[in-house]
A and B are shown apart, each in its own frame.
Chain A
Amino acid sequence: MSVQREQLYKFPWSKTDNPGGWIEVTDECNLSCPGCYRHRLEGHRELSQIKDDIVACQKLTNCDRMGIAGGEPLIYPEIVEVVDYIARLGMKPMLLTNGENLSWELGRALRAAGLAKFHFHVDSGMPRPGWTGKTEAEMNVLRQKYADLCWELGRVQCGFNITVFPRTLPDVPAVIEWARANMPKVHHLSLVAFRAIPLDGTYEFYAGGRKVDLRVLQHSVTDQGTIGLTSLDIFETVRGHFGEFVPCAYLGGTSDPESYKFLVGVQVGSRSGFDGFLGAKTVEITQTAHHLWTGRYFDFLRFPETGRRLFLLGLFDRELRRTIVRYFAGVVRRPTRLLEPVYVQSVSFQQPNEILGNEVNMCDGCMNAMVFRGRLIPSCRLDEYRLFGEALRPIRKGGSPEGGSSDSASEEGL
């Protein structure tokens, strides 16, 4: 296996000390993507209710960034006020959007309200007018449009969310290639393995002691064998193309600590090129120092333009030292590079919930937890709480009465 666990930093995040919080402003959307886990049940939420949940989420999670999601948050009429409210509470507001509704004026207003980052969901699986039938590599044209828009707005970061399906897997390296060519403009890529609830009869689902019929979860169930992709599959594809790709940190699973629910590599480079990666020690030192100074861990820093002062950490981090050597070799070839700012860009490989035996393997240290009726829940399972009152419990059908087989079931589940 190309990932060496002992060389990675396990993020120290927990439920109550986590860099990420999450708020949903609406469950309406202007697109309807396959595999979306959100159903239209309530429409736009009351602003006062949203504000209460933001405060509660900050208190419960100690978060540094608040993800604003939905539904599509940019169709929520008071979105600017939500961003402003979060920024005033001292958190970094981050918008998760498909970008369809983003105009220059709205972008300006959001930036003025204190928006720290756009996180655009752009992939070829979305039924986006004018962009259907494109390959994942062709979608880079649209990504470029949004990256340029953020760059022109200034002082607002730009990340992309890409749901990866088995058929789009071979195109992932082209997306990373594109991101490397845009180091100053693009600060994050999330490559998320497609997940849905299997409806092939292997499992029954219970809530509150009653069996539930999952066909009400119309988008998030599947009969097809499309849900086996793991974060490691995506990583291996990337590694196959960029042999030098090194991850530095991760989150494991709650049931299976060997699964990589969230695996991160951080690229370092400048306008004219990519130089290398950060190692685990740099991530550990920055997370630890941020927590010592501010009392919180961080998802992303306010300024992705770290500059060459980042190189000081090379004292402790061998991987970063390699990067520094490559950087200065590049400078020798082209001295004008010394004038270019140095940026970091993170690439995360994510693997949402899967069912193992009779348990759901979740992210241990989930950074997208939200408040629902006063409780902290993983946002990806919100609709289970909204529709059934609690998280679904899967029961593998025909489980044998002896203990041993339940574990072999979890092996298959992998």
Chain B
Amino acid sequence: MKKKGAGPLPPMNTRSLFRMPWTMADNSLSWLEPSRKCNISCDACFARNDPQSEKTVEQIERDLDELLGLRRCDAMLIAGGEPLTHPAILEIIAMVKRRRVKPVLITNGVGLTSEWIREMKRAGLFGFTFHVDSHQARPGWTGKTERELNELRQTFADMVYDAGGMICGFNMTVFPDTLSYVPEIVVWALRNVYKVQSYTFAALRLVGPDLPFEYFAGGRPVTLEDTAYYTRESYVDLTSRDILASIRKAIPDFEFCAYLGGTVLPHSLKWAVGSRIASRTDGFGQLGPKAMEIIQAGHHLFKGRYMAFGNPKWNGRAKLLFLLGAFDPSLRRAARAFIGKAVRHPSLIWKRLCVQSISVVQPADFLPSGERDNCDGCPNKTLWQGRLVSACLLEEYAKFGAPITAVPREIPG
């Protein structure tokens, strides 16, 4: 049976958070898929591994221009599939960079070498988001726990750090059996605050026989059994609040500062971010909603786009953010904590402080009525036949030509 999310639900009032000003046509991010081919297979992947799906460079360039014609964005996530399997990946990075959008790779990192990272940096790569978790069939790493995988994360973080001048992020799909490892990963990430700029935890979403729906696409009944995200196993539907509770085991005062709500349930926490200010050894609190608002609004006023990732050359200068404490109580608290500690340990004044963002994602949910609650202001929109669709639903458009509509087998009371 599908159960409600496990774990305690901390109180959450999204009204106290900043609603990111991101919309369909004016967002921080977009999503580009050079191919849907992949060199490993991960549980709960929302894309089918399709070896025939590799696009030509010309095709990708057309997609890119069309996508940028429909949507302003600060960064382009080059994803897939596994983007590193594309032979022209350097050219793809360069074409994004030429259009003054920050190219960021979402990759599993399989086969990545330091030399390759340097080449991509020369091509204009802004940074990486590595997908690493224990539900991947990764050669040499199967059967490892999330704790043991921190070693692999460290390898990637070190390689990117050594190449210099790029951002490094990680993401992980959270399963019921890996939820308890979240605090350890958070602690690892904080220890690497100079090297790791962002961490994303996404709750798994699958459909299975337990769901009380019949499915339609474009008016025709369809079966989901041969889609990438169908499972016969029972699973627990984790929510972003479950993950938040788990993060708080590592950082008791962790708070989100900004969020995106749902398209149906306005206050469901579909996407949320909290940004810590820390040195390698000490945390000093986090950005509050006002600080995030000023950063997003200021970036849009001056650059014409909402900010996705901060420039790596500002890494380590988070002390400047304390100035925003004039408007943001959370940063004022952080500044006080820093000064308090610096009085006792004056050497702290010379230490670098960094910002590290922890994001939590709760992908599309089916509600009892059959309606689907997606992220309102979805950052991961991609191009499909001349229009924008959510990357996590692309499979449905590709397979059925339309998004899936769920209809309850029995009318809910």
Contacts and interface: CB of A to CB of B under 8 A. Distances in A.
Interface string B277-301: 0000000000000100110010011
A12 B24 contact: no
A403 B26 contact: no
Interface in A379-398: 390, 393, 395-397
Interface stretch (A64-72, A149-157, A176-184, A251-259): A251-259
B21 interface: yes
Contacts of B376: 14-16
Interface stretch (A135-143, A165-173, A239-247, A357-365): A357-365
Contacts of A32: none
B94 interface: no
Contacts of B19: 14, 16-17, 62
A16 B407 CA distance: 27
Interface string B254-271: 000000110100110000
A16 B24 contact: no
Interface stretch (A81-89, A188-196, A404-412): A404-412
Nearest to A254: B24
A390 B369 contact: yes
Contacts of B399: 403
B411 A208 contact: yes
B180 interface: no
B214 interface: yes
Nearest to B386: A407
B311 interface: no
Given A12-B23, A16-B261, A209-B370, A257 B388 contact: yes
Contacts of A285: 301
A397 B219 contact: yes
Interface in B358-413: 369-371, 376-377, 385-388, 397-403, 405, 407-408, 411
Contact of A204 (B219, B371, B401): B219
Contacts of B370: 208-209
A362 B23 CA distance: 13
Contact of A364 (B24, B72, B294, B397): B24
A206 B407 CA distance: 10
B25 interface: yes
Given A12-B23, A252-B25, A365-B23, A396 B15 contact: no
Contacts of B408: 208-209
B218 A399 contact: yes
A14 B27 CA distance: 12
B191 interface: no
A257 B267 contact: no
Contacts of B71: 257
Contact of B407 (A13, A204, A209): A209
A209 B220 contact: no
Contacts of A359: 402-403
B5 to A, nearest CB: 21
A358 B15 contact: no
B299 to A, nearest CB: 11
A276 B393 CA distance: 44
A94 B25 CA distance: 29
B19 to A, nearest CB: 4
A292 B294 contact: yes
B70 interface: yes
A359 B398 CA distance: 16
Contacts of B227: none
Contacts of A407: 385-387, 401
B14 interface: yes
A46 interface: no
Contacts of A208: 369-370, 407-408, 411
Nearest to B384: A407
A10 interface: yes
Nearest to B385: A407
B218 A10 contact: no
Contacts of A365: 23
Contacts, number: 123
A47 interface: no
Contacts of B301: 281, 284-285, 288
Given A14-B21, A208-B411, A257-B25, A390 B398 contact: no
A291 interface: yes
Contacts of B266: 15-16, 60-61, 376
Nearest to A297: B21
Interface string A267-285: 0000000000000010011
A61 B26 CA distance: 20
B26 A10 contact: yes
Nearest to B297: A288
A60 B400 CA distance: 35
A393 B405 contact: yes
A134 interface: no
A292 B402 contact: no
Given A14-B377, A16-B19, A16-B266, A399 B220 contact: yes
A105 interface: no
A390 B327 CA distance: 43
A347 to B, nearest CB: 21
Contacts of A15: 261, 263, 266, 376
A59 interface: yes
B23 A364 contact: yes
Interface in B198-238: 214, 216, 218-220
A201 interface: no
A401 interface: yes
Interface in B49-83: 70-72
Contacts of A410: 387
**Residue in A6, A17, A359 with the greatest tally of chain B CB atoms within 10 Å:** A17
Nearest to B304: A6
B387 A284 contact: no
Contact of B218 (A62, A253, A364, A395): A395
B402 A358 contact: yes
A42 interface: no
A221 to B, nearest CB: 20
Nearest to B14: A16
24 contacts: A6-B72, A12-B21, A14-B21, A14-B261, A15-B376, A16-B15, A16-B261, A16-B266, A16-B267, A16-B376, A209-B411, A285-B301, A288-B300, A288-B301, A291-B293, A292-B290, A358-B405, A364-B23, A365-B23, A395-B218, A397-B219, A399-B220, A405-B401, A407-B385
Interface of A: 5-6, 10-17, 59-62, 204, 206, 208-209, 252-258, 281, 284-285, 288, 291-292, 357-359, 364-365, 376, 390, 393, 395-397, 399, 401-407, 410
Given A14-B260, A15-B263, 17 more contacts: A10-B25, A14-B261, A16-B266, A16-B376, A61-B266, A208-B408, A209-B370, A257-B388, A288-B301, A292-B297, A358-B219, A358-B405, A364-B24, A365-B23, A393-B405, A406-B402, A410-B387
8 closest cross-chain pairs (CB), A and B: A403-B401, A12-B21, A209-B407, A395-B219, A17-B19, A10-B26, A406-B401, A15-B266
